Amino acid sequence: MAVTVTTFDKMKQAGDKITWLTAYDYSFGHLLDQAGIDAILVGDSLGMTIQGHRTPIPVTIDDSAYHTACVARGVENAMIVGDLPFGSYQVSKEQAYENAVKLMQAGAHVIKLEGGELQNETIEFLTERGIAVCAHIGLTPQSVHKLGGFKVQGRGESAQRLLDDAKGVQAAGACAVVLEAVPRKLAAEITEMLEIATIGIGAGPECDGQVLVLQDMIGIYPSKSPKFSKNFMSQADSVGGAIEQYVAAVKAGEFPAAEHSFN
């Protein structure tokens, strides 16, 4: 059965953990779909995992649309989340709409964009025009240079800003929000506060769902994987088996464990 934004709402209410992974091509899209993943994120992380850049910033909207279309051809049930890359939505809400349309025409069901309060007007503009939007707050990789690197966000006085961002994106109409590299206690507070689903990546097990970069999860990314990731291939006999282990671990609340979370 196809996963929709309504599915996310029902899963949150039922306490059923939501599973996400990234994919960028037909073969892995099909493999993830067959393994029962709830959502596939065609992330701008492709700039690092596929293109070999140090950050996702060089990724273009044409790159994102191409890889979204590749994944979509292999998927029957999972939700496909298309990522708006750096520079494709920050100029105006009209620019965001134009590029969101490109991703939807390529096969995306939901559009993800980074940023909290600053993007509320854009989120509202898109949702009013029939586009489902997933927000992304905390560590926002497209702002890595401004943030001073890939660092945990929301510690100390900045925690209130993330709480406000979470409330704001929900009020603007977002159907879900990714929380990246956020202290576990704060992520739990945000999850409890919101009606929409929270998808954690380095944000602790209390989030409504989890997402990892596929190349980290199967241990093939050449650089060191982040603290919040886990190599599920180390105890699996196939890539498909590793993906199934990931799905089972998230559903059972076994991943992420304490060592994959931040205090």
180 tagged catalytic: yes
Q: What is the DSSP string of 211-236?
A: EE-HHHHTT--SSPPPTT---GGGG-
Contact at 8 Å (CB) between 198 and 176?
yes
Pairing type for strands 176-180 and 209-212 reads unpaired
Nearest-angstrom CA–CA distance, 141 and 56:
7
Q: Which two structure tokens, joined as six digits, stand for 21?
A: 């992974």
* 148 residue type, one letter: G
**CA 138 to chain CA centroid, nearest Å:** 12
Catalytic residue among 76, 94, 128, 180: 180
Residues 6+ apart with CB under 8 A from 151: 139, 181
Nearest-angstrom CA–CA distance, 214 and 211:
9
DSSP letter at 92 equals -
Contact at 8 Å (CB) between 137 and 159?
no
DSSP-based three-state secondary structure for 150: coil
Residues serving a catalytic function are 180
